[in-house]
Amino acid sequence: MKIMRFIRWTTFLMAAAALSLGIPRVASASTTSSATGWVRLAHLSPNTPPVDVYLYSFGDPSAEQVLHHVGYGVVSAYEPLAAGEYTVAMRAAGAASSTKPVLSATLTVAPGGAYTVAGLGPESGLRLEVLQDRLTAAPGKAEVRFIQASLQQHEVTVTWGGKPTVTNLAFGSVSSYQAVSPATATLRVTGESESANSTITIAAGTVHTIVVLDGSKGLVLDDLLDAAGSGAVPAGAAGTGLGGTAPRVPSPLPWLSLIGTGLLLATVGGLGVRLVPRQRGRHAR
Amino acid sequence: MAGSAIVACDPAMCAVLHADGLPATRLLVLGTATADPLGSDLVVATLAVRNEFGTRLQSVYAPVVIASFGTGAGRIDIRAIAPDGTAAYQAALAADRRSRISAGGQLLRNPRIIVTGGARNALSAGDVDPRLLMMLAALADQQQVRITAFGDPSPGASPVVPLRSVQIAAPGPGAGAEASLRSMLSLIDAQRQPFQPLRAAVAGSSALTVEYAAPSPLGLLGGP
């Protein structure tokens, strides 16, 4: 059973990479090249313990990333990664340095592509899923999708401005993006026994992922801004930006800077998260 | 063979496999009660099975031979089942090869991976099992990896079947060579399915061999 739990950790954690709760951060488009993609990680398995996550580049050992102590509800900001293939591995947070990381998935980063690596489902059925994130919306529209990460409510129905948007979204599943008209309106999520409301502004040209989470006092909604801008992919062109991936926190360790800022962290209970760019020989293996 | 694979076979062959230790729950006995091998992962194509399904065995159910033993009427082919049909399977095979070519090319650019001639060709041609590719990337994060050869432990496999084994040489002479190989082995031994190999061992102080079970999974790598 310990082995199975560890495997599940691996899977779910994968999301690990970076995390920060819902506050899309941003790597500067100007510092990235056309051979760069964007990756964020999300731990969305409510009953799975925290993990450390590693991204091993196939072609460039210096491109490795490691993310420590990723807990439930943590969604990292986007982090630029060189395009290419990565092996995603995990081990239990705080495991001895002699513990070997367990491989869990691969991530293919295409130039200009954006991805969310999410650990989904219950601990007993944990899976690591690579979600292709959308960076553009149709003119005059916005795009919204939903991730159902509440184990307490097996299915939820979402209304936006009083209109049904997603119905019976099962735990551990992800809706497709759908175009919506820009507005400031009430987002309501209703499960079998709980519901939650949040007033959210969705501007034209933006792309959002709304995550439904279990909080200490019921459902919690986390609004992730995937992209907010002209819709141009982050290829380095000035002025277009990646929206959510555009730099809002001028730090070389943007993920780190997000720690403690997320709604989830506050709600879920102060998960300690740190993400550091890989520096060879400085972390336990 | 992969640890959870379901095997379709004629009654006589299934009896032999069961006697050899394959659980009955992993056997799909072909015959009057089972119209086709769909629902299994592999089919053991004995003469009886070939006679029962004819050309449909290859054209509909299981287009690729992953291993073959014997000759003539006594030949036994191990075929991978195409659950969604031959066309879908062939398309998945082609997509997987493209992914393996891309991934292999990236490994060849990794300064921590040293590859000899034949193995280099295998990587660049997309001939290497995706589980090995992923494992090599992780190993190279730990230390330098010297790949001397890839191999396919399955006789008679179709050319489209990836190579499922690798031989890794010690990074250099001296007392640290075996320790280096054993460090790699410990990482490999820590893995779980589908990354847990069928066999992995250090031979003396000179080489580490790793072999994954058949069939190689499709779609493990992302697209290029």
| Mean pLDDT of all residues belonging to chain B | 90
CB A18 within 8 A of CB A53: no
Mean pLDDT throughout B145-173? 90
Q: In what order do the strands lie in the sheet with B165-169?
A: B113-115, B145-151, B165-169, B207-211, B199-203
Q: Does A61 touch chain B (CB under 8 A)?
A: yes
pLDDT at B172 over 70: yes
Residue ranges per structural domain of chain A? 2-277
pLDDT at A209 over 80: yes
Mean pLDDT throughout A176-201? 93
| Residue A126 distance to chain B (closest CA, Å) | 14
Contact A58 B133 (CB under 8 A): yes
pTM to 2 decimals?
A: 0.73
User: Which of A40-54, A258-272, B15-29, B172-186: highest mean pLDDT?
Assistant: B15-29
pLDDT score for A262: 26
Mean pLDDT throughout B58-64? 91
Mean pLDDT throughout A17-42? 52
* A49: amino acid identity, one letter: P
> Alpha-carbon distance A229 to B90, whole Å?
41
Contact B222 A130 (CB under 8 A): yes
| Mean pLDDT of all residues belonging to chain A | 70
> Alpha-carbon distance A64 to A253, whole Å?
14
Contact A108 B140 (CB under 8 A): no
Span A132-172, pLDDT tens digits? 999 889 999 999 999 999 999 999 999 998 888 999 999 99
pLDDT at B117 over 70: yes
CB B165 within 8 A of CB B119: no
B128 φ, ψ (degrees, to nearest 5): -105, 135
pLDDT score for A123: 84
pLDDT score for A271: 28
DSSP, collapsed to helix, strand or coil, labels residue A163 as strand
A83 φ, ψ (degrees, to nearest 5): -60, 145
Give the DSSP letter string of A11-78.
HHHGGGG---TT------GGG--TTEEEEEEEE--TTS--EEEEEEESS-GGG-EEEEEE-TT-BPPP
Between A229 and A247, residue with greater pLDDT: A229
Pairing verdict, β B113-115 and B145-151: parallel
Q: CA neighbours within 13 Å on the CB side: how many for B61?
A: 22
pLDDT score for A19: 27
Residue of B nearest to A84 (CA): B106
Q: CA neighbours within 13 Å on the CB side: how many for A70?
A: 38
Mean pLDDT throughout A14-31? 31
pLDDT at B61 over 80: yes
pLDDT at A2 over 90: no
Residue ranges per structural domain of chain B? 7-83, 95-211
> Alpha-carbon distance B80 to B69, whole Å?
15
* B147: amino acid identity, one letter: I
Between A96 and A23, residue with greater pLDDT: A96
> Among A62, A64, A63, A61, which Cα is nearest to A52's?
A64
Q: Give the least confident one: A88-97, A198-207, A230-239.
A: A230-239
pLDDT at A21 over 50: no
Q: Does A101 touch chain B (CB under 8 A)?
A: yes
Mean pLDDT throughout A224-243? 47
pLDDT score for A280: 31
pLDDT at B164 over 80: yes
pLDDT score for A97: 66
> Alpha-carbon distance A28 to B36, whole Å?
56
Residues in B lying within 8 Å of A, measured between beta carbons: 99, 102-103, 105-107, 109-112, 130, 133-135, 137-138, 140-142, 186-187, 189-192, 195, 220-224
